[in-house]
Structure 1
Amino acid sequence: MRLVILGGGESGTGAALLAKQQGIDVFVSDAAVITPGCKYVLTNHQIPFEEGGHTIEKIQSADEVIKSPGISHKAAIMQQLHSYSLPIIDEIEFAARYAKGKIIAVTGSNGKSTTVHLIYHLLHAAGYPVALAGNIGHSFAKCLTQGHYNYYVLELSSFQLETISHFKPDIACLLNITPDHLDRYDYSIEAYAKAKWNILRNMTGLEHFIYHKEDRLTTQYLQEKKSLPQLHPMSMPPIPSIGSDIFRLNLHNQSFGPIATSIALPGRHNQYNTMVAVTAATLVGVSSTIITSALPKFSGLPHRLEWCGRLQGIDWYNDSKATNVASAVVALLSFTQPIIWIAGGIDKGNDYGSLLPFVKEKVKAMIFLGKDNSVIRKAFHPLGLPIQETDKLASAIDMSLSIGSPGDVVLLSPACASFDLFKNFEDRGNQFKERVKLLMVK
């Protein structure tokens, strides 16, 4: 068998390593320059590759092609390959062929990383041999070359699910579907949702599906699908009123809670993510005693409503991972204090309309950080709130200090991609944290 992998990044390199380990004739082709780290891995394992362009003759001779998730089906090379009728799959599909353990797969527009890390945390606390991989910087295929585990917890993006053929998780979690990456899907939420639903494609009544029962698109799809796994619908926890009971989760005659005080993460969305993670852990057999003990020890992930400290009586939060509107909504809803909101970046076809009522209610002032703030400025200008603009993060922080008062919150929750001014959302968040920390020690 001859296998060609398009893309020499983390996903492609991982697939190449697994193919080599399985004795498959493999070749890697990347239209861009492969990073030194990945190039070293390929060279060290004697895996042939090309970079800076595709040689169609070398790809055409493949029995199967693995497409890295960053490559759109609209790309010229993909259009060319479709004309040759070559089988094209994703790295996740390829890796799953060699996974002997059970797979817990999590997808959704928002909350994936927190949820998979929490599931991993709970299974690890129970002593289960468990690995974490997927759309979090750790290739599933590479993970399989490093050892075998009883459980694989995978974060999966819509890009990784587009060409699923036989992949079937034992437990699938679809957290939510809100507009994101629509530029890849011809600005169609239905096309984007269809990619997410691929996680269900091969599931049967022997597997489990955890989903948001208030998600209209998903519930409609389930009504139309003939073969279904065991369904576990979840709801966003209610907002507790003064004097009311804090939300508790009851599952399989076990009670977990109070959820709101069991985790050190702000926001109802994190309570929901916790409910999903607890459900998944319970389905694989983790006891309520272990779950109750482990939950308070989970401190969350960087760049997701990450508290950076208190400066001049103001609490500073890094939510740089909020690269779409829905993420920014849940961030704003997580606070009762007046918010100075730092937003902006590369607009991905965002509809800011759903944000307007929350900004009007929660936000004291807005600072737009980006090379071109015209779209986001136009969307929020009618609210009449103070607006400042800059293309420098240090200036955005200085503006926040000049506007803020003790008791306020400064929230970096951009609702946009980061690539206009930063390498990625991590770079944006890290620079924010470093600047705040520097000012705190002065």
Structure 2
Amino acid sequence: MLNPPTFLAPLLASPVAVLGAGVSGQAAARLVRHLGGTAVIYDQKGGEGTVAEFRPGEHQLVIVSPGFTPSHNWVVDARSAGIVCLAELDFASLFWRGSVVAVTGTNGKTTLTEFLTYALNEADIDAWAVGNIGKAFGDIIVEREGGAPNSIAVCEVSSFQAEMLRHFRADAVIWTNFAEDHLERHGSMQVYFEAKWHLFERAVGGEVFAGSSVQRAAERYGQSLPEAAVIDTEDPAGDILLSGTVFDDQPQRENFLLAAAWWRAAGLREPLLYAAARTFQVGPHRLAQIGERNGVTWWNDSKATNFHATEAALLRFGGPVVLIAGGRSKGGDVAGFVQRIAPRVKQVLLIGETRNILATFFGAAGVPHQVCTDLADAVHAAAALAQAGDHVLLSPGFSSLDTFTGYTERGLQFESLVQALPSATTA
């Protein structure tokens, strides 16, 4: 039986407003109903079971999905009316009985969340991956009745989720890295940094761990980290125990180093972590070879939705690659991005809303390029120009939401197109 905190119980007596009908909003509504309350889901897109026009006067509590900014007029109206507003992650965390390890970062946070959860379960510790990874915290609360005191929620937290947190508490926070991303929402790198830094402030009495780029950003924006919290993730020494695992090279080595830092601090046996590393496999659409055709290898890195991820992927290859890039802009210095990757690109096939602006900058950098009508056009163009020994890499550097429902759909379509090429063999 889940018992709400004292301050929350009277607020649940009235219908609870849930802003957003996505994964987080639906989970929040299910949790409200599991508690015996009534949930009203508001979403401007409409849809079955939702209300398109927000009516704040009917509610004492509003649960806000991460897709809503703090300045959204519905959130502002609710606060102006004196209504309690809680982020979806805040609301769910109030009912969790176990401990929380929060994971954030521009890149790598999903893989790190998956790996820590996998390693803990392999060590016979009850652990659940929740949050931005696609399994809302609220759903685990309902399924596990708040979890056991010895359970661990490994919670991936995006900057969208972190910026509104008030009640969420973490026993540890791991911040993988910091690079340009989500400027279409946050407006500046400093605001983006501060949204994630807010998560560190939720580690009251807990421990924090940060990669090298996070330390540099903290110094730039007037924050400081304890010396023991900073892990050298950018120039790690070789580790023969990771040979043959997904963590043998960057960028995945970064994830292992941060996982190991927390693992040791938690008093867990390090051989168990290495054993888990030997059997762990990264999720789909993360820099994986998917096929070979006439001596050309094809790689799917559709999850690379920002500049840093694409740059990290290109470091994987010994020479210039044939790159498929483009999509919906998330803000940031596109010209700088192109200049940084130009030496590692043999030719680029450009897709999505940013294809024309990318063509301008790649042209200025002297990189051969082609503007494509869609992903299928790009794949066929790559197949025509790539030669034996070349690598063709889908690592877009931009959001997929201009054409696809998400990076998964983009990656699946890419794999399907590659498999349909004549003489193609899958990896």
Is the TM-score greater than 0.5? yes
1:269 aligns with 2:251: yes
Cα deviation, residue 266, structure 1: 7.0
1:92 aligns with 2:89: yes
1:132 aligns with 2:129: yes
Q: Choose the corresponding residue for 1:16, options 26, 29, 33.
A: 29
Contact 1:168 1:203 (C-alpha < 8 Å) held by counterparts:
yes
Contact 2:177 2:212 (C-alpha < 8 Å) held by counterparts:
no
Match of 1:166 in 2: 167
Matches of 1:83 and 1:76 in 2, distance apart? 10
Match of 1:194 in 2: 194
Match of 1:183 in 2: 184
Cα deviation, residue 432, structure 1: 0.4
Contact 1:314 1:405 (C-alpha < 8 Å) held by counterparts:
yes
Deviation string, structure 1 residues 305-333 (Cα, Å, up to 9, x no partner): 02112221111111111111111111111
Counterpart residue type for residue 325 of structure 1: F
Matches of 1:175 and 1:154 in 2, distance apart? 13
1:247 aligns with 2:238: yes
Cα deviation, residue 199, structure 1: 0.7
Q: 1:354 to 1:236 in 2, by over 3 A?
A: farther
SS state of the match for residue 274, structure 2? helix
Match of 1:109 in 2: 106
Aligned length: 406
Deviation string, structure 1 residues 276-324 (Cα, Å, up to 9, x no partner): 1222233334322211211021121111102112221111111111111
1:153 aligns with 2:118: no
172-181 or 265-274: bigger deviation: 265-274
**Runs of at least 5 residues in structure 1 that lack an aligned partner in the other structure:** 40-48, 240-245, 249-256
1:67 aligns with 2:54: no
Match of 1:363 in 2: 345
Cα deviation, residue 8, structure 1: 2.1
Percent identity at matched positions? 28
Matches of 2:357 and 2:32 in 1, distance apart? 45
Matches of 1:284 and 1:247 in 2, distance apart? 24
Contact 2:190 2:221 (C-alpha < 8 Å) held by counterparts:
no
Contact 2:132 2:156 (C-alpha < 8 Å) held by counterparts:
yes
Matches of 1:168 and 1:231 in 2, distance apart? 21
Contact 1:267 1:331 (C-alpha < 8 Å) held by counterparts:
no
TM-score for the superposition, normalised by structure 1: 0.86
Matches of 2:86 and 2:228 in 1, distance apart? 27
Match of 2:289 in 1: 307
Contact 1:237 1:247 (C-alpha < 8 Å) held by counterparts:
no
Q: 1:84 to 1:224 in 2, by over 3 A?
A: farther
Cα deviation, residue 358, structure 1: 4.2
Deviation string, structure 1 residues 213-259 (Cα, Å, up to 9, x no partner): 3432224567458xx7x9421122427xxxxxx524xxxxxxxx544
SS state of the match for residue 180, structure 1? coil
1:374 aligns with 2:342: no
Matches of 2:401 and 2:290 in 1, distance apart? 22
Matches of 1:199 and 1:280 in 2, distance apart? 16
Cα deviation, residue 426, structure 1: 0.9
1:397 aligns with 2:398: no
Matches of 2:271 and 2:194 in 1, distance apart? 38
Match of 1:283 in 2: 265
Cα deviation, residue 424, structure 1: 1.4
Q: 1:267 to 1:376 in 2, by over 3 A?
A: farther
1:54 aligns with 2:53: yes
Matches of 1:310 and 1:143 in 2, distance apart? 40
Cα deviation, residue 212, structure 1: 1.6
Contact 2:289 2:299 (C-alpha < 8 Å) held by counterparts:
yes
SS state of the match for residue 382, structure 2? helix
TM-score for the superposition, normalised by structure 2: 0.89
Cα deviation, residue 437, structure 1: 1.7
1:123 aligns with 2:157: no
Match of 1:29 in 2: 42
Matches of 2:233 and 2:247 in 1, distance apart? 15
Cα deviation, residue 425, structure 1: 1.1
Deviation string, structure 1 residues 122-176 (Cα, Å, up to 9, x no partner): 1111011111111122110111100125011111111111211121111101112
Match of 2:4 in 1: none
SS state of the match for residue 202, structure 1? coil
Deviation string, structure 1 residues 372-408 (Cα, Å, up to 9, x no partner): 5221112221221211111222221111122211211
Cα deviation, residue 194, structure 1: 1.1
Cα deviation, residue 115, structure 1: 0.8
SS state of the match for residue 146, structure 1? helix
